[in-house]
Structure 1
């Protein structure tokens, strides 16, 4: 009975060890894949940096195909502010501020940029809207964070505090359709907002570093496993 239990324990330990080694190698390859994705995105941004500004008629049917391209729209900023919470700049907590602009192709949500918080989430910072009707920026399609499910049900009451850019919720507040992308305004010396847009949060080199770490752990785990297995087999032969 003791021999049988020992064999079962050995098999279980072996399976757990192999699973851990496979997971570590998988995470290493996943980090390499993320590195390639980031490099492709940075190359895309670079290639579209100096492109001529597009107009809504060019992109309205397929905004995803024109991410990072410059876009110029015309319209008046409406005084219906959306504050996107938990945005950090240099360790300072603040908000990104979005406002709708009425165009010939429904509303476009314009991201004015970042402003610091007041120190209390119960008091949103006051902002001054630009007076111009010409708005130039970059097309950006935000990704949903499935871990965030908080919803602001005070529809129609402004300003609106949100945890992420959710077009369905924005439409509920505005009572009309909005186009499924945002316009991140270009930096301006007279703007009251910070507009140093960070498109890629983690540099490709960081992903490479993580991949090397995971591969190193996998190789170390595999080495220990093989040495232990060889030693065990030699012990049984003796």
Structure 2
């Protein structure tokens, strides 16, 4: 293959790549814009969600309503969700059983995140509130993540677990409600609350959209300059 043929072949290849990647990058940008709009709708829907006072919703409505319950925290056992990070720090999420006054069902409540002690052998010191309290927040389903080996739960007052297994807990507590309440108020000292309604904010989706559109623009300008240079050489 001569040098002229090589240059022609390379130019055709570049044109094919440009024709493929520009539509792809534009599609990715539009997709991110659509995702941003979807997340905005989800957040607005949650902000305007109705609030239930002292009753649990049907499971199909669990994540669509705000819940406020009055009752008591069952002091033992306490579950520590392992390997939970916030702001680059490793810690636990504190999950307890809660008995609402107006229901026979027990509810799992995630009270928030706390920093882990320096060593794995040491567990956090936890003092739970006693007596009637009010808890409000959002109900979410608990999914069991993929694990390399079975999670062993010791019989103890404080149990360190890798995930909240609702099915497993129902064998211990038959009246357990099949969702976890994320508390929006810190009820224990040194606990951090705050749970995003969506896994990625609309602003991040918009940022990704700008990146995709920016790459498409760079590719359009680059291919235009390449075409202009080729035409200029032919004119000479």
Fold shared, TM-score > 0.5 on shorter chain: yes
Aligned pairs for 1:155-166 (under 5 A) are 155=153, 157-158=155-156, 159-162=159-162, 164-166=163-165
Residue aligning to 1:112: 111
- Alpha-carbon deviation of 1:100? 2.7
Unaligned runs of 5+ in 2: none
CA contact (8 A) 1:106 1:179 kept: yes
Q: Rate the CA distance shift 1:178–1:193 in 2: closer, same or farther, 3 A.
A: farther
Judged with a 3 Å threshold, the aligned counterparts in structure 2 of structure 1 residues 142 and 227 are, in CA distance, closer, same or farther, namely: farther
Task: Return the alpha-carbon distance in structure 2 between the equivalents of residues 102 and 78 of structure 1.
Answer: 11
Task: Say what the alpha-carbon RMSD is for the aligned residues.
Answer: 3.6
Partner of 2:91: 94
The alignment status of 1:44 with 2:42, answered yes or no, reads no
Describe the SS at the equivalent of 1:216. Answer: helix
Q: Retained in 1: the 8 A contact 2:54–2:67?
A: yes
**In the aligned structure 2, how far is the partner of 1:145 from the partner of 1:19?**
40
Q: CA deviation at 1:62?
A: 1.5
Contact 1:139 1:181 in 2 (8 A): no
Number of matched pairs: 230
Contact 2:142–2:179 (CA under 8 A) maintained in structure 1? no
SS in structure 2 opposite 1:191? coil
Q: Name the CA shift for 1:112/1:203 in 2 (closer, same or farther; >3 Å).
A: same
Flag the structure with higher strand content: 2
- Deviation of 1:139 (Å): 2.2
Instruction: Report if the CA contact (8 A) 2:98-2:108 is conserved.
Output: yes
Is 1:125 the counterpart of 2:133? The answer is: no
Query: Which residue of 2 is the match for residue 33 of structure 1?
Result: 34
Contact 1:137 1:186 in 2 (8 A): yes
Following superposition of structure 1 onto structure 2, how do residues 5-24 of structure 1 map, counting pairs within 5 Å? 6-24=7-25
Deviation at 1:228, TM superposition (A): 1.8
Residue from 64, 72, 76 that aligns with 1:79:
76
CA contact (8 A) 2:140 2:182 kept: no
Find the partner of 1:191 among 188, 192, 195.
188
1:35 is paired with a residue whose SS is helix
Structure 1 residues 37 and 220, CA gap change in structure 2 (3 angstroms): same
Superposed, which structure 2 residues align to 1:131-146 within 5 Å?
131-141=130-140
Instruction: Check the 8 A contact 1:71/1:183 in 2, yes or no.
Output: no
Offset, 1:8: 4.5
Determine the C-alpha separation between the residues in 2 that align with 1:219 and 1:106: 57
Rg comparison, structure with higher value? 2
Structure 2 residue matching 1:119: 3-state secondary structure:
coil
Q: Give how far 1:182 is off.
A: 1.2
Q: Is the 8 A contact 2:63 2:138 kept in 1?
A: no
Residues 151/26 of structure 1: CA separation in 2 closer, same or farther (3 Å cut): farther
Residue 221, structure 1, aligned to residue 219, structure 2: yes
Unaligned runs of 5+ in 1: none
On the 8 A contact 2:166/2:178 being kept in 1, the answer is yes
- 2:179 aligned residue: 181
